[in-house]
């Protein structure tokens, strides 16, 4: 099974900040990496698929990069609605493991 490790597990930032979250796979997954945003009491929402493709309707301040084992999600300028928990997920092979999540909080 391919394990996914995110860092940091939590992060405090201010509106307007540039933020980067990383995700590492236990083995190469090519570009089969997705990012989701989850707000309290809500289902996850897809942000980025295939490591760097922006899902339709997602603001362009979100971007993803990486391949192989190391990936990043970047928010270029934090907005108030971006404070949430972010998860990576590998889709290279079953089981579809998620990272443990990164909680982004207001500083």
Partner 1 sequence: QVQLVQSGAEVKKPGASVKVSCKVSGYTLTELSMHWVRQAPGKGLEWMGGFDPEDGETIYAQKFQGRVTMTEDTSTDTAYMELSSLRSEDTAVYYCATKIAVAGSWYFDYWGQGTLVTVSS
Binding site for partner 1 (CB under 8 A): 31-32, 34, 36, 38, 43-46, 49-50, 53, 55, 87, 89, 91, 94-101
Nearer to partner 1, 36 or 75 (CB): 36
* Least distance between partner 1 and beta carbon 82 (Å): 19
Nearer to partner 1, 34 or 82 (CB): 34
C-alpha of 38 from chain center = 10
Classify residue 16 as left (phi > 0), alpha (psi -120 to 50) or beta: left
| CB-side neighbour CA atoms (13 Å) of 106 | 6
Contact (Cβ atoms closer than 8 angstroms) between residue 24 and residue 69: yes
* Least distance between partner 1 and beta carbon 74 (Å): 19
| Residue with the two structure tokens 């270029």 | 76
Nearer to partner 1, 69 or 100 (CB): 100
* Least distance between partner 1 and beta carbon 51 (Å): 8
């Amino acid at each position: 099974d391919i394990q996914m490790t995110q860092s940091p597990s939590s992060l405090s930032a201010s509106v307007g900040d540039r933020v980067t979250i990383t995700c590492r796979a236990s083995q190469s997954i090519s570009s089969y990496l997705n990012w989701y945003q989850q707000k309290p009491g809500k289902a996850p929402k897809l942000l980025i698929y295939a490591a760097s493709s922006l899902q339709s309707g997602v603001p362009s301040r979100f971007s993803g990069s990486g391949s192989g084992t190391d990936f990043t999600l970047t928010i270029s300028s934090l907005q108030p609605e971006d404070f949430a928990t972010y998860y990576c997920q590998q889709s290279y092979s079953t089981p579809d493991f998620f990272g443990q999540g990164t909680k982004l909080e207001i500083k």
